[in-house]
Amino acid sequence: MRVLGVDPGLTRCGVGVVEGVPGRPLTMLGVGVVRTPVDAELGRRLVAIEQGIEAWLDEHRPEFVAVERVFSQHNVRTVMGTAQASAVAMLCAARRGIPVALHTPSEVKAAVTGSGRADKAQVGAMVTRLLRLSAPPRPADAADALALAICHIWRAPAQNRLQQAVALHTSKGRTG
Amino acid sequence: MRVLGVDPGLTRCGVGVVEGVPGRPLTMLGVGVVRTPVDAELGRRLVAIEQGIEAWLDEHRPEFVAVERVFSQHNVRTVMGTAQASAVAMLCAARRGIPVALHTPSEVKAAVTGSGRADKAQVGAMVTRLLRLSAPPRPADAADALALAICHIWRAPAQNRLQQAVALHTSKGRTG
């Protein structure tokens, strides 16, 4: 199972691709950050994110895209940007018929560290260990994207298969 | 000046096209709603909104797109969906090099009724009068989209020309 994890953000959108199945060692296929200039117009920033995500989808052809579920408890301005960046990532995936899964930050932390309240350093350390990397991926958004992908591989494989079957069926229906 | 107004929403995305210049009677070229099913997956809903907005851009070729600026003061769930729908609308416009303007609800109300605290009925009544329609456009999202377009035509024409020049310059830079 190949998963693209996306930690959405307007300024830095973390992306990471992980391949594997539950109970077996995981492999990192790529990690990075899609950046957009803070002073650019919002519409142009969204276009830049679209182009960045498309490039990652083209290169890695993931079977699933896992995006962090956005909450609005925190800073209002940041959350709006995060919601907008996540919308672009979901749109890119859904347009290709790739199933999109949303995971909350605490689900991701719990999946990779055993605790939903783990801090950034702990998540980074576990991502490094689980993917057998020589150092934690930088910036933290990149590590979070990998953690999202790992979380998705480990959560509910049966549900993933169902979702994939539905997506395949629906996309066949659209083109046929 | 031809403007597509977009009142963003996941379930109902109001769209309205108005043509005119400040100080002259305005003309409505089209009004409608892009709807997506509440029970569909979020990614697919965003794809449906993209297709809907693209169809409106194809048909009316607006010079500007005016989108309601989203705040997160209100219901958290609704606001996330609104932010995501607005991201898709902005993306569609920016991809074509069409300048995108954001106006707050109170700016729009003040522009068409003279009061930033006007209610829906008052906005609907003024939209009907200003566009010389026989009845207020339904649903309210459609009327709000027209009000956004009117607001954009009336606000800062000089700023619009500047924005258009920048957008044209940037899009030439990209393709050239």
Q: Closest chain A residue to B86 measured between Cα atoms?
A: A84
Give the integer Cα–Cα distance in Å for B157 and A120: 47
> Does the model's ipTM exceed the 0.95 cut?
no
The answer to whether the CB of B7 falls within 8 A of the CB of B69 is no
Higher pLDDT, B170 or B19: B19
Among candidate residues B29, B25, B44, the one with its CA nearest the CA of residue B129: B25
Question: Which one of B46, B94, B100 has the shortest CB-CB distance to A90?
Answer: B46
Cβ contacts (< 8 Å) between B168 and chain A: which residues? none
- Please report the pLDDT score of residue A111 as a whole number: 93
- Catalytic residue flag (residue B7): yes
Nearest to B137 by CA among B129, B110, B114: B129
Q: Which domains does chain A have, with CATH numbers?
A: 2-175 (3.30.420.10)
Strands (E) in chain B, as ranges, are 2-7, 12-19, 27-35, 64-68, 100-103
Q: Is A125 helix (H, G, I), strand (E, B) or coil?
A: helix
B68 classed as catalytic? yes
pLDDT tens, residue by residue, B48-58: 999 999 999 99
- Residues 89 to 118 of B: which have CB under 8 A from any A CB? 90-91, 93-95, 99-100, 102
Please list the active-site residues of A.
7, 68, 141
What sign results for the dihedral spanned by CA atoms B75, B81, B82, B83? Answer: positive
pLDDT 10s digits, A11-67: 999 999 999 999 899 999 999 999 999 999 999 999 999 999 999 999 999 999 999
Return d(Cα B113, Cα B143) in angstroms, integer. 13
- Closest residue of chain B to A99, computed from CA coordinates: B43
Exposure string of B34-57, with b = 16+ CB inside 10 Å and e = fewer, is bbbeeeebbbbbbbbbbebbeebb
